[in-house]
Structure 1
């Protein structure tokens, strides 16, 4: 498991165990509460996705200890930039945990230009903004999700209001879909193999477990 391994050597062993365990034992080792804001242009195209992730105290303290180069028990601007750069490079191959689909087909997103890292109290905060690679018009069913395909990090939207839309068109219906993991496995049993659960690089099938913001809109034109 390579994800976040640069953050702390202490979590590397746990990551390896997660990747090599039987499917029933696979579970997250890092937890984050998230917020997602989808910003819509006046012409109904998606302007950007704004992400905020607030990590759990244990992981945050591990990051603090790993990146506190001067040992003053806090992260200065340079150290926070080091954190942001590490997260940015670590998540690139996972598309920054973003899952976007239009009528069931994947929508490619541009890599965010940068990530911002900060600490509030004892928790690490990561913020970034991304845009669709091609214009994405709200028509039909558009889904937005955030999910780690390796199962190592749990990104949790604790309230439905934490997945919001700025300037939602009047003809669009917004809903938050929270798949039941047991039902998702049962419905996709034929495609979920041991390799799916044990592959540390993740697979596209992970999207079936993601909490999604679903927008159902009238066809344009």
Structure 2
């Protein structure tokens, strides 16, 4: 089951709150919250993620990890689930996309990843920070995306993406790309492979909902 579950989780993404092109068919859905914390000196302290998965996927996970068949996950079962999820999504940098003036920023692994069930829905909760100190630049963006197009993680409201500590003089906004406009803007860099099979091309990030912070000086 671990390999099959890794396929499910290995496809998890986020920030995709768009009308996807006809060839894209997410199979797993989650509602998300993102909290970005900025230190007083303008460096990024941490990103906090909460993902709440749809009923069908949550039920599948419950059945597969409920070793004692009591229709609930005890502490040991939740720990095993969290470990499996952690190992699976680590291969995808935890589906995080953080960029500084267009350059991808490496994120460190979370110290703790929590799996929980509330109201019969799977929750994944974790925090992460940049591997190296990251100071806000002219444009710094934060989001999550699924490189396989398998999962849609949806920020239902703009307020589900929250930031604290934005320095004076900087502005921030939530960006929800229009799919057609995103494709047109990136036409030169999109290959035939993307249009024939977008999974694994790493270009789904152009559709991802994101938080952008702009500062007058980088």
TM class by shorter-chain length? Answer: 0.7 to 0.9
C-alpha change, 1:26 and 1:4, in structure 2 (3 Å) is farther
How big is the shift at 1:145? Answer: 0.8
Task: Flag the structure with more relative contact order, 1 or 2, with Cα contacts below 8 A and sequence separation at least 6.
Answer: 2
- The residue number in structure 1 matching 2:182 is 184
Query: Does structure 1 residue 125 correspond to structure 2 residue 123?
Result: yes
**1:43-101 CA distances to partner (integer Å, 9 max, x unpaired)?**
11101000000001110011001100000000001111111111111111111110000
Contact 1:51 1:127 in 2 (8 A): yes
Alpha-carbon shift at residue 208 of structure 1 (Å): 0.7
CA-atom RMSD, angstroms? Answer: 2.1
CA–CA separation in structure 2 for the residues paired with 1:103 and 1:4 = 37
- TM-score, with structure 1 as normaliser: 0.86
Asked if structure 1 preserves the Cα contact closer than 8 Å seen for 2:30 and 2:53, the reply is yes
- Aligned runs of 1:12-161 on 2, under 5 Å? 24-161=22-159
- SS of match in other structure, 2:108: coil
| SS of residue matched to 1:27 | coil
Of 180-189 and 123-132, more deviation after overlay is shown by 180-189
Question: Which contiguous aligned blocks of 4+ residues in structure 1 show a shift greater than 6 angstroms?
Answer: none
Give 1:5 shift. 2.9
Aligned to 1:171: 169
* Partners of 1:41 and 1:47 within 8 A in 2: yes
How many aligned positions are there? Answer: 205
CA deviation after TM superposition for structure 1 residue 4, in Å: 7.8
1:170 is displaced (CA, Å) by 2.0
Any conservation in 2 of the 1:7–1:62 contact (CA below 8 Å)?
Answer: no
Partner of 2:4: 5
Structure 2: which 5+ runs fail to align? 10-20
Unaligned runs of 5+ in 1: 13-22
